[in-house]
Amino acid sequence: MAAMTGSAPPPASPLPPLLWDVFCHVVDNLGDLGVCWRFSADLAARGHQVRLWVDQPEPLWWMAPGALEGRHTGISVREWAPDLSQAFCDPLPPADVWVETFGSDPPTPVIEALAQRLASGQPPPVWINLEYLSAEPYVERCHRLASPVMSGPLKGLTKWFFYPGFTAATGGLLRESDLQGRQAAFDLREWQRRMKLSPSDARQVTLFCYEPPLLQSFLEQASSEDPTVQWLVTSGRPAEAFRLACERAGLKNRIHPVNLSALAQRDFDELLWASDLNLVRGEDSLVRALWAGQAFVWNIYPQHDNAHHAKLEAFLDWLDAPESLRRFHRMWNGLDGPTLPAQAWAGWAGWSVLEEWRSCAQAARARLLAQPDLTTRLLEFIAEKR
């Protein structure tokens, strides 16, 4: 496992400690909550105070143990209940910054409370619309653009688009200041013992996916190529997809997965560091796979109009992915048919293709490490707008 080296304190903030309201509406699969928690935790580590408003806070019991009990300094998790009027009539101190994530507009009581404060002469917060991650060209065009509020009690205020991304002209990616140090100190053998896995030099593959159409063919050919592989299967949809694929392929007695319980975010990071191949999904786990620096394949979130096809191709272009990795991504995501052609497996003898993919991931990680992280860029932007 090639780890990043070194560790550093959080970058010096261009701002004094601020109070933030972060709004998270959970759509599905919990990736939005994962991003919001990582972001909130990074702000808190830099001395800021965060109120994280979320409509489904329960997954934080396992995602961030202690979060719902108030054991994370600087973060207060508050439930996005149907009626927040009472909470905002306490009254709560006004926030310096609002962050609506992935289009989750602040609840009506929050809007009304701010309107009342503005009427009494209080200044408005800096209002950020934190958008979805993409490598498509529009991200650089739209990043940092103003979005005037045209109607309602807050008419006349301005939101600001802030786009995460992979280039210097975007908002960057979340990266905690202690990430490199934690990864450098990671001990694979100790992790295997802690996870109750037999210490082994066998290939380890993490499966964190939706329902990739290629999964059955992949398991059939991979198990034939190397029956010693340890399959580390995450809970929920990945576990069910794995079970069905094995059942249909008649692999129930030939392949023995390690079925993992739901993992806290830092434990999930370690899982990706430990594996030779990470099959990940969504946005948060894609970023964590990039930081892991191991071979990975991205199961992109499917959209009904196939808009994810262009999004995937844009990412592969930025990644400078070799042809073998491009081809496998397209098949894994159903762009090139539901089965794995024999010729697509030709380069896998001895899993040698993984070294090419790993080198690609590490080169991409090096480019990203040369750029500021998302929180640092956002703090600089807010300093400009206050």
CB 84 within 8 A of CB 51: no
Cα separation of 215 and 366, whole Å? 30
312 closest CA partner among 283, 284, 344: 283
Helix (H, G, I), strand (E, B) or coil at 23: strand
SS3 content of the chain, % helix, strand, coil (to 5): 40, 15, 45
List residues with catalytic annotation.
Answer: 32, 283
Q: How far apart are the first and last CA of the chain?
A: 43
Q: Which pair of tokens denotes residue 103?
A: 């289009």
Cα separation of 109 and 86, whole Å? 9
The conformational region for residue 119 under phi > 0 = left, psi -120 to 50 = alpha, else beta, is alpha
In the block, residue with structure tokens 């919001």: 36
- In 10 A of CB 146, how many CB atoms? 9
77 closest CA partner among 105, 47, 96, 53: 53
Residue type at position 246:
C
- In 10 A of CB 1, how many CB atoms? 16
Q: Which pair of tokens denotes residue 24?
A: 């998270």
Cα separation of 110 and 119, whole Å? 14
The CA distances from residue 229 to 53, 257, 272, in Å, are 42, 9, 15
Residue type at position 142:
C
- Output DSSP code: residue 317: H
232 closest CA partner among 187, 267, 180: 267
Q: Which pair of tokens denotes residue 292?
A: 């892991």
